[in-house]
């Protein structure tokens, strides 16, 4: 079931408000795009070598999710999925990681999701990924070790979410550590070519402003 956060991305929204309140205002829509990242400060990314990436991008919706374990969720437009996945793959490979299949015991897993709605459901339920995540067990869920997820109450543009997890880091309470989070707001607007360019730019920025990811 979707969990709605009412206090997410406060800092990110504040930045957006400052930008939109400048005397001249934004000349182009991409000037309002916002990229937020956060991570587990105790995690040593440089000791990791491999990662897995799904071949679809999950679509986060306003509907309550009540599926059975193993059921697949809805996905976003394949044209956008390819752009998002290729951008993630390019950045991860450039950082020195090697992509492997999820069955090959990857050190890291990157889970991309996207939405376009007036409200942000960032902390969505485990159900969205339990069908794909390797070795997923009953009662598992997300947690954010050593830091807090971003918080926001409302957005009106498209948003892409990236969650980087460690499959072997499951704790005693069956919680999967989300060791890095990226949130890119304002991406799914305009023509497909414009969206593709903005997705690439924003995902690149998310990795650029996360130098600790480098091996």
CB 181 within 8 A of CB 39: yes
pLDDT at 136: 72
Going from N- to C-terminal start, the domains of the chain cover 10-20+32-213
Q: What percent of the chain has pLDDT over 70?
A: 67
Annotate 158-176 with b (16+ C-beta within 10 A) or e (fewer). bbbbbbbbbbebbeeeebb
Mean pLDDT score across all residues of the chain: 78
Q: What is the pLDDT of residue 185?
A: 83
Pick the CATH number of 10-20+32-213 from 2.120.10.30, 1.20.58.190, 3.30.160.670, 3.40.50.720: 3.30.160.670
Q: How confident is the model at residue 22, as a pLDDT? A: 43
Global pTM value: 0.72
Tokens encoding 161 = 């979410």
* Predicted confidence band of residue 8 (pLDDT cuts 50, 70, 90): very low
Q: How confident is the model at residue 200 (pLDDT cuts 50, 70, 90)?
A: very high
User: pLDDT (tens digit, 9 = 90+) per residue, 85-110?
Assistant: 999 999 999 999 999 999 999 999 99
| Residue that the structure tokens 């999820």 belong to | 102
Kindly provide the b/e burial profile for residues 77-90, where b requires at least 16 CB atoms within 10 angstroms of the residue's own CB.
Answer: eeebbebbbebbee
195 vs 28, higher pLDDT:
195
The whole-angstrom separation of Cα 184 and Cα 202 is: 6
Instruction: Output the pLDDT for position 6.
Output: 33
pLDDT of residue 112: 96
- Residues 172, 178, 179: CA angle, nearest 5 degrees: 110
Q: Which residue has the tokens 């989300």?
A: 178
The separation between CA 163 and the C-alpha centre of its own chain, rounded to angstroms, equals 4
Nearest to 99 by CA among 114, 113, 88: 88
What the block records as the tokens of 98 is 């090697």
| For residue 23, pLDDT beyond 60 | no
Place of tokens 């704790």: 171
pLDDT at residue 180 tops 80:
yes
Who's near 99: CB < 8 A, 6+ residues apart?
A: 50, 51, 52, 53, 89, 92, 93
- Nearest CA among 35, 49, 52 for reference residue 161: 35
The answer to whether the CB of 56 falls within 8 A of the CB of 110 is: no
Question: Do 73 and 123 touch, CB atoms closer than 8 A?
Answer: no
Better pLDDT: 181 or 140 = 181
- For the residues of 53-99, what is the DSSP string, one character each? --SS-EEP-SSPP-PPTT----B--HHHHHHHHHHHHHHHHHTT-EE
Distance of CA 171 to the CA centre of its chain: 21
């Amino acid at each position: 079931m979707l969990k709605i956060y009412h206090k997410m991305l406060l800092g990110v929204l504040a930045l957006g408000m400052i930008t939109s309140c400048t005397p001249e205002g934004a000349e182009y829509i991409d000037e309002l795009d916002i990229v937020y990242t956060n991570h587990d400060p105790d995690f040593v990314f440089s000791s990791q070598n491999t990662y897995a990436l799904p071949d679809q991008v999950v679509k986060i919706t306003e509907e309550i999710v009540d599926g059975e374990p193993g059921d697949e969720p809805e996905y976003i437009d394949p044209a956008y999925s390819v752009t998002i996945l290729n951008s993630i793959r390019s950045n991860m490979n450039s950082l020195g990681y090697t992509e492997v299949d999820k069955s090959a015991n990857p050190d890291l897993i990157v889970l991309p999701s996207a939405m376009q709605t007036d409200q942000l459901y960032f902390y969505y339920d485990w159900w969205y990924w339990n069908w794909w995540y390797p070795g997923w067990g009953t009662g598992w869920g997300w947690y954010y070790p050593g830091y807090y997820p971003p918080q926001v109450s409302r957005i009106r543009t498209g948003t892409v979410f990236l969650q980087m997890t460690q499959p072997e880091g499951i704790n005693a309470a069956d919680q999967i550590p989300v060791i890095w989070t990226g949130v890119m707001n304002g991406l799914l607007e305009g023509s497909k070519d414009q969206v593709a360019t903005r997705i690439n730019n924003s995902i690149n920025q998310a990795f650029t402003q996360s130098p600790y990811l480098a091996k």
